[in-house]
């Protein structure tokens, strides 16, 4: 896990349909999603940096079979430094969005809650991003951080690197013809380290494949355009054969990258029992062996 309790600095109340449903448990929210804010909440929302974690809590009191309580549901962090942006297609007041990656997500089968004598959620209760210190008047920030962290034990996202990678790769648009320096450490906050990626070399890898008519998954041969038609045109994800989070600063060349579909990308970021990762070749062999059955 690349995160620590000391990265937990913020808390925010969220709600779905006035407490009749769970917020951010919809389909495709396990890895990342757009966190919503009202216009007046964007100032605080924009203060949060990548690597800083927001605790999301929600009070549900109208779901059949669920005890009316305040539940701790997510730990999330912004995927980049972009500010909250208005989504004109939304019809409610919470139209401003900021994309976040899921550090931890409580299972609805093992819901997390606490008691007011331990942590009180009365003060940060208006949808703004607030300091985690508001959860207790008697405990230190470190005590609050450790207590919340412990509550999410067993619920952390093992694929957090993939969640961040995929979100960042959506934004890549530059095009250069040389190996680009990647992996330089930069401090996002305190001791938390992010590894910088070069959008240029990734975009070049995709561009070359498009020019050669070879834009398909290196592991399973999936072709987005063939399956999805025009909306899949020129879409593919890019995987670093050697994880960018290891090995320090280095240059990345086209041969260091693999173009893969979303499913294979997720599998490539899943650790084996020995804590190593599958290679594109080893994953391809697994796929072929299962197809032959």
| pLDDT tens digits for range 153-179 | 999 988 776 666 655 555 543 334 445
pLDDT of 126 reads 81
Q: 53 lies in which domain range?
A: 5-151
Give the Cα-Cα-Cα angle 282, 235, 27 (nearest 5 degrees).
Answer: 85
Last residue of a domain, one of 107, 122, 151: 151
| % of the chain at pLDDT higher than 90 | 51
Q: What is the DSSP letter of 265?
A: H
Give the 3-state secondary structure of residue 34.
Answer: strand
Residue 48 is part of a domain; what is its CATH number? 3.10.590.10
Q: What share of the chain is helix, strand, coil (3-state, %, to 5)?
A: 30, 25, 45
Cα gap 81→99, rounded to integer Å: 10
pLDDT of 147 reads 96
pLDDT of 246 reads 61
Helices 160-169 and 199-211 cross at an angle (nearest 10°) of: 70
158 or 73: which leads in pLDDT: 73
Residues 130 and 262 in one domain: no
Residues 286 and 193 in one domain: yes
Last residue of a domain, one of 90, 125, 151: 151
Last residue of a domain, one of 151, 169, 193: 151
pLDDT of 281 reads 94
pLDDT of 132 reads 96
Residues 206 and 286 in one domain: yes
Residues 90 and 174 in one domain: no
Whether the CB-CB separation of 147 and 118 falls below 8 Å is answered with yes
Residues 179 and 66 in one domain: no
Residues 224 and 144 in one domain: no
Give the pLDDT band (50/70/90) at residue 84: very high
- Domains: count for the chain: 2
Cβ-in-10-Å burial (0-12, 13-18, 19+) of 236 comes to: buried
130-157 pLDDT per residue, tens: 999 999 999 999 999 999 999 999 999 8
Task: Report residue 257 CA to chain centroid gap.
Answer: 21
Mean pLDDT over the full length of the chain: 84
Look up residue 2 and give its two tokens.
């690349």
| % of the chain at pLDDT higher than 70 | 83
Residues 140 and 191 in one domain: no
Whether the CB-CB separation of 115 and 124 falls below 8 Å is answered with no
Q: Report the DSSP pairing between strands 53-60 and 8-13.
A: parallel
pLDDT of 112 reads 94
List the one residue out of 224, 205, 207, 204 whose CA is nearest residue 216: 224
Q: What is the DSSP letter of 195?
A: E
Whether the CB-CB separation of 211 and 164 falls below 8 Å is answered with no
Q: Which helix (H) or strand (E) holds 57?
A: strand 53-60
Whether the CB-CB separation of 51 and 188 falls below 8 Å is answered with yes
Give the pLDDT band (50/70/90) at residue 125: confident
Residues 196 and 103 in one domain: no
* Residue located via tokens 């070749």: 281
pLDDT of 39 reads 95
Cα gap 51→8, rounded to integer Å: 9
Mean pLDDT confidence for 85-95: 92
208-232 pLDDT per residue, tens: 899 888 899 999 999 999 999 999 9
Residues 53 and 108 in one domain: yes
Cα gap 196→204, rounded to integer Å: 17
Give the pLDDT band (50/70/90) at residue 251: confident
Which string of b and e fits 29-53 if b means at least 16 CB within 10 Å? eebbbbbbbbeebbebbbebebbbb
Q: Report the DSSP pairing between strands 130-131 and 112-113.
A: unpaired
List the one residue out of 31, 85, 104, 52 whose CA is nearest residue 263: 31
Residues 36 and 165 in one domain: no
List the one residue out of 174, 169, 159 whose CA is nearest residue 236: 169
pLDDT of 127 reads 87
pLDDT of 167 reads 59
Please give the model's pTM, rounded to 2 decimal places.
Answer: 0.60
266-288 pLDDT per residue, tens: 899 888 888 788 999 999 999 99
Residues 168 and 202 in one domain: yes
Residues 95 and 118 in one domain: yes
Judged against a pLDDT cut of 60, whether residue 191 lies above it is answered with no
Give the pLDDT band (50/70/90) at residue 243: confident
């Amino acid at each position: 896990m690349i995160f620590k309790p000391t990265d937990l600095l913020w808390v925010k109340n969220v709600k779905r349909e006035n407490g009749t449903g769970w917020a951010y448990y919809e389909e495709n929210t396990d890895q990342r999603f757009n966190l919503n804010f009202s216009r007046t909440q964007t100032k605080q929302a924009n203060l949060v940096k990548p690597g800083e974690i927001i605790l999301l809590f929600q009070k549900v009191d109208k779901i059949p079979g669920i005890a009316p309580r305040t539940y701790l549901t997510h730990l999330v962090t912004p995927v980049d430094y972009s500010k909250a942006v208005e989504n004109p297609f939304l019809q409610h007041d919470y139209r401003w969005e900021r994309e976040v990656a899921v550090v931890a997500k409580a299972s609805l089968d093992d819901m997390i809650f606490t008691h007011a004598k331990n942590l009180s959620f009365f003060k940060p209760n208006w949808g703004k991003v607030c300091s985690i210190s508001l959860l207790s008047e008697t405990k230190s920030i470190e005590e609050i951080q450790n207590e919340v962290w412990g509550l999410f034990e067993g619920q952390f996202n093992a694929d957090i690197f993939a969640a961040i990678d995929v979100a960042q790769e959506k934004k890549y648009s530059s095009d250069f013809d040389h190996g680009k320096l990647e992996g330089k450490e930069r401090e996002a906050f305190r001791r938390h380290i992010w590894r910088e990626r070069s959008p240029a070399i990734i975009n070049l890898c995709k561009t070359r494949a498009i020019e050669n008519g070879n834009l398909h998954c290196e592991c399973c041969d999936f072709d987005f355009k063939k399956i999805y038609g025009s909306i899949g045109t020129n879409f593919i994800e890019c995987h670093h054969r050697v994880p960018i989070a290891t090995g320090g600063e280095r240059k990345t060349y086209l041969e260091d990258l693999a173009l893969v579909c979303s499913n294979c990308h997720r599998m490539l970021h899943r650790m084996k029992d020995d804590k190593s990762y599958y290679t594109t070749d080893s994953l391809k062999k697994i796929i072929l062996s299962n197809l032959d059955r």
